[in-house]
Structure 1
Amino acid sequence: MLYPTTAALLNWMWQSTLCLGACWLLYQLLRRESYFHYNRRFLLFTPWLALLLPLLLAGAAPVLSGWLPIDTTPTPLLTPSVTLTAVAMSSQSAASTPWWTWLPLVYGAGVLVWLVRLSWQLVVLWQQTHHLPHDTREDYTLVSSSGKLPVSSFGRSIFWDETADLTLAEASQVLQHELVHVRQGHTQERLLLELVRALLWFNPFVHCYPRALDLTHEYIADSTVLQTMPTPEAPTIYAALLARLTLRRLHPQLPLTQSFTQSQTLTRIAMLQSPRSMRRWKQWLLLPVSSVLICTFACERAADSTAPASVAAASDNEEAPSPPVLVEQTQAAPPPPPIVHQYAEKMPEYAGGLKQLMIDLGKGIQYPEAAKDAKIQGKAFVGFIVAEDGSVQAVELKKGVNAPQELEAEAKALNEAALAAVRNLPGKWTPGSQDGKKVAVSYTVPIMFALK
């Protein structure tokens, strides 16, 4: 049965997207500030935060449920642990495998595609550079390209265009710029980001990160070079050098490299001319944003792992009856209601899997003639519990088909048909388990009634 894996994957996808989206919006407040090393760590850390935080909180859900103030009132329509796709019913409906059961395979294929893309870029880089002359220095390797490649760096290698029209001072500034990339490990950081990008390929925000990290790396290298140029005109001189080398570049940039003349030149020049005042209070904005995200995910995970037990209590306005006889006073208290999990490590499985469940539901539902004549359509949500022994219990209507008041009887017939189909399922259930023990798990089945 594919749905538990699909449900967990969907939960992780939307939570990681929400987390990284909040971080990217926060970065828009930081990107124009000149604390470049902080921005660099922010861009490296937050994708991994979005990747791992939902998974860590999912594992910690049993612990969180013990101390978080969670409202355990059942809300199956808002946060159902398992909600099957709507079973569309008509007089000539046919069961088919829902597309979302293939979501884990689609996700895995996407990861594979992005990893192949990254591997191909590395192969292309090697093919274009391995035959060039290499000069090994103390902490880097100088690769002479004879004007075939732009001045750039990858790992410990600096690709040098010896045909560039540079003075000795300008060449020293360009070389120092590339050495910053080499010594601070900017290539390794970019590769790590590409790895998490492959794992989060479905997340639109993660594809904005590589360009932002590349630009931040250039800011860091530019500022380091400026610190060695103490003259007041240093930003102007360096900006002129950057613009001149960019204008003469006629060859494409190598993949995954840090290029001195990369395409974001105007942004770098603007940053060179910007004032150096830093509003450091923005650096601390990550703390409240992270706290809100952690509390949101933790509360949801803890709510999923708690048991929504319902205990009937007498109204405060009712008079408490006096003890009738001594026998009733000595009777043992009734056992507490069983714990019903919204989600379990191993979810219950219907005999034959999800596809068979949908087939049996389709066969068991009869479209009431009165509803057909009145042309009523809609969706009914039927909830039930798969008990520890695999039996179906507590079948109830969570939300019925909506209809005008004069057609209330016909709508009720549709709801009763949905309830009857669930109650009369012919297949057996294998109960779910949590920590190796069989547990009761709740299900919510949306059933769509549609006329053709």
Structure 2
Amino acid sequence: MIAILIKSTLCLFLLLGVYKLFLEKEKMSRFNRFYLLGSIVFSFVIPFLKFDFAIETFQNAIIPNAIQVVQGETITITNETSIWPALFWIFHGIITSLFLFRFGKNLFEIISKIRTNPKEKYQNAILVLIEEKILPHTFLNYIFINKSDFENRNIEDELYMHELTHVRQRHTLDVLFIEFLKTLFWFNPILIFYKKAIQLNHEFLADEKVVTSYNNVPFYQSLLLEKASWNSNFYLASNLNFLVTKKRLIMMTKTTSQSRALLKKLAVVPVLAGLIFISCSKNLYDAKTSQNKNAIVKKLEPINGNPNSKKLKESDIYTSIEVIPEFPGGMSAFGQYVLKEFKIPSELTQSGNVLASFVVETDGSLTNINIIRDLGHGTKEETLRILKNSPKWLPGQENGKLVRAAYNLPIRLKVEKK
């Protein structure tokens, strides 16, 4: 879990850095909105993606040297007797609950204001008329404005257009999405910067619509400067004043050529590709070895379907083979299987190694399972259980044929004292 969070945070940090350095100051706000939201989703999904990449190497490195008995990597299992993990999750749950309560409380307050104040239909939005002196701000398709200013027609058309853009482009959904993530991952400060970047980009989008609709930049800029000293405390709403008036004024007069924008967008591609390669590559293996594995998969069905096949003597057990048997996904995947399934007996008080031997059959099943060394207290029975219940392996191969292969597997049991 910690490894997943670290990998997600690193991706979030890197992608936000790319945005700040290359994208934020360019006038391509629609793309930037997609980029920011996509970066968040990408960063939380990428730790769960795994791909195999084939790498072509020298011929003498393609096939392992002949071995007598396949010796697997040692798998270490640690009993979790410490109370610290439990205390950590209890603490995390309490803090998360408090943030969820705060999130729900703010939603309830906004909904209450919508219900208890008069409303007016305005184009594709609903105006909520508030007695208190406030700046216009938006939540979903509701625009909150001062009742007196509305009745006295003291709200400029540009401000209406600004808020209507928030409604039409559904900016509130972006804010709700990032705010919900903040409640769950409250310990990750990078999400705060993402929220600020997303809301600033919303303002750029709304300003752009106002400028193109009314074509009077000086008047709109003076209007923003006039309202800049006002404050708003609606953290789930899209606000006219977002404390970034200077950046907004600069963006209104900025131009970005199509070629420059295209280059900026294309520059994102190698960054994403690099992250995928570094974060998602599970196994790096030789291309020809990969072809051998594919050949194994293809040959499994016809050999299993014909038990009387004379292509090889199935009674022979090989101890010297070209392509060694392997658990699907590699030994790291088998290690995860053992870590998940193996239950260290509570009576065991000392650490040590368990050594098992077995035969990987041509159909990938494990037979002739023998526990050569165990630590007593039920460790032998537990090792037998997980090996008997193991998913099928990729069988070994000799001269292009599937063979039965002997395999030794050491498992280290690490007992931690309370």
With the shorter chain as reference, the TM-score category is: 0.5 to 0.7
- Report the equivalent of 2:326: 339
* Post-superposition offset of 1:237: 2.1
Residue number among 256, 261, 265 corresponding to 1:283 in the alignment: 265
* Post-superposition offset of 1:103: 6.0
Paired residue secondary structure (1:153): strand
Residue number among 11, 15, 26 corresponding to 2:3 in the alignment: 11
CA pair 110-21 structure 1, distance change in 2 beyond 3 A: farther
2:3 and 2:37 map into 1 onto residues whose CA distance is 23
2:49 and 2:390 map into 1 onto residues whose CA distance is 20
Contact kept, 8 Å, 1:68 with 1:299, in 2: the verdict is no
Contact kept, 8 Å, 1:47 with 1:196, in 2: the verdict is no
* Post-superposition offset of 1:199: 4.8
* Post-superposition offset of 1:294: 1.1
Residue 42 of structure 1 pairs with residue 29 of structure 2: no
RMSD: 4.4
Percent sequence identity is 22
Contact kept, 8 Å, 1:177 with 1:225, in 2: the verdict is yes
- C-alpha deviations, 1:121-180, integer Å up to 9, x for none? 211222344311111234110111133433101011011124459997961000000000
- Report the equivalent of 2:391: 437
5+ residue gaps, structure 2, are 65-72, 291-314, 359-365, 394-407
5+ residue gaps, structure 1, are 1-8, 74-79, 88-94, 308-330, 365-381, 396-422
- C-alpha deviations, 1:214-238, integer Å up to 9, x for none? 000001001110112324xx2x321
- Report the equivalent of 1:360: 349
Contact kept, 8 Å, 1:350 with 1:427, in 2: the verdict is no
- Report the equivalent of 2:221: 239
The alignment covers a number of residue pairs equal to 342
Residue 215 of structure 1 pairs with residue 206 of structure 2: no
- Report the equivalent of 1:184: 169
Residue 259 of structure 1 pairs with residue 213 of structure 2: no
The two structures have a TM-score, normalised by structure 1, of 0.62
Letter in 2 for 1:334: Y
2:194 and 2:354 map into 1 onto residues whose CA distance is 42
Residue number among 145, 156, 160 corresponding to 2:141 in the alignment: 156
Contact kept, 8 Å, 2:200 with 2:242, in 1: the verdict is no
Contact kept, 8 Å, 2:175 with 2:236, in 1: the verdict is yes
Paired residue secondary structure (2:138): strand
- Report the equivalent of 1:23: 15
1:288 and 1:266 map into 2 onto residues whose CA distance is 32
Paired residue secondary structure (1:217): helix
The answer to which structure has the higher strand fraction is: 2
Paired residue secondary structure (1:213): helix
1:106 and 1:301 map into 2 onto residues whose CA distance is 36
* Post-superposition offset of 1:195: 3.4
* Post-superposition offset of 1:33: 1.1
* Post-superposition offset of 1:16: 1.4
The two structures have a TM-score, normalised by structure 2, of 0.66
- Report the equivalent of 1:118: 103
CA pair 222-82 structure 1, distance change in 2 beyond 3 A: farther
1:243 and 1:167 map into 2 onto residues whose CA distance is 22
Paired residue secondary structure (1:149): coil
1:441 and 1:239 map into 2 onto residues whose CA distance is 72
* Post-superposition offset of 1:21: 1.9
2:87 and 2:338 map into 1 onto residues whose CA distance is 18
Letter in 2 for 1:360: T
1:162 and 1:215 map into 2 onto residues whose CA distance is 27
Letter in 1 for 2:108: V
1:239 and 1:385 map into 2 onto residues whose CA distance is 76
1:434 and 1:172 map into 2 onto residues whose CA distance is 74
Residue 296 of structure 1 pairs with residue 289 of structure 2: no
Paired residue secondary structure (1:360): coil
Alignment of 1:368-383 (within 5 A): none
CA pair 138-268 structure 1, distance change in 2 beyond 3 A: closer
- Report the equivalent of 2:301: none
Alignment of 1:381-420 (within 5 A): none
Contact kept, 8 Å, 1:246 with 1:265, in 2: the verdict is yes
